[in-house]
Amino acid sequence: MSERIHHDHRGLGLTAADAGAVGAFDALTSAYLGMRTDVFAAAPGMALAHCLKDAFLMLASDRKFDAAVEACIAAAAASNSMRGATAREKGHLAALRAWRAGDLAGAAARLEAVLVDHPLDIVALRLAHYIHLYLSDPRVIKD
């Protein structure tokens, strides 16, 4: 299966097998607060989908998800290695690794770096919002 760069409905590039996988990812981000899982069936190797699943688990702040968090990070990293990844996808993974390591400021900084080049990345924006709130630093939250 050949992976290539496709564009989501915001015009942002991501590595995926086909437009159907990207459509499923768009649906996932649109239903951000309602955890849809159809993207995982449509594109089990999509790194950014694993990153978002990991973020949902991290937001729960429950140690019972530790193994699942590690599995998501590993799956996203493996996908990036096997299929290649955009700088945006690599930035999301780096942010999640920092967050997992307890470096919330570093995670926020990595998401902010993604937003510099991709200001329409709603996932990076929302995650940065959450992290800045966890850090009790609302003055840097973007509107």
CB 118 within 8 A of CB 124: yes
pTM across the whole model: 0.71
Question: For every one of its 143 residues, what pLDDT tens digit does the chain have, with 9 covering 90 and above?
Answer: 567 888 888 888 888 888 898 889 888 877 765 555 676 777 777 888 888 888 888 888 888 989 988 888 898 898 888 888 889 999 999 999 999 999 999 999 999 999 999 999 999 998 999 999 888 876 666 54
Task: Identify the domain containing residue 120 by its residue range.
Answer: 4-140
| Nearest-angstrom CA–CA distance, 108 and 128 | 5
The total number of structural domains in the chain stands at 1
pLDDT digits (tens, 9 = 90+) for 20-34: 988 898 888 777 655
In terms of C-beta density within 10 A (0-12 exposed, 13-18 middle, 19 or more buried), how is residue 101 classed? Answer: exposed
C-alpha separations of 57 from 62, 73, 76 in Å: 8, 11, 14
* Inter-residue contact 111 to 127 (CB < 8 Å): yes
